[in-house]
Amino acid sequence: RMSQLILPKSIDSKFRFITVAAQRAKQLQAGAKPRVDTRSRKPTRIAVEETIAETISWEVHEEPVPAEGPAEE
């Protein structure tokens, strides 16, 4: 049961946690092998367990800010 979820220290927000787990669930649905031993067969649950166990890696890529051209007057 996941009513009280304690986030790993490497995850800075619940939103990031859900985003990482959702991407991993997609990978599992596409055929990736689970990285944790679990009784669950549901990709979303496995992805959450992997994220909590910190067995998956992820990076945050900042969106580049477009450079402003010369100001028109």
Give per-residue pLDDT as tens, 12-42. Answer: 888 989 999 999 999 999 999 999 999 999 9
Cα–Cα distance, 45 to 21 (Å, whole number): 9
Q: Which two tokens stand for residue 47?
A: 């992805």
Alpha carbon distance 52, 69 (integer Å): 44
Q: Residues 49-73, buried b or exposed e (16+ Cβ, 10 A)?
A: bbbbeeebeeeeeeeeeeeeeeeee
Structure confidence at residue 68 (pLDDT): 76
Query: What is the rounded distance in angstroms from the CA atom of residue 26 to the CA atom of residue 18?
Result: 12
Q: What is the mean pLDDT of the chain?
A: 85
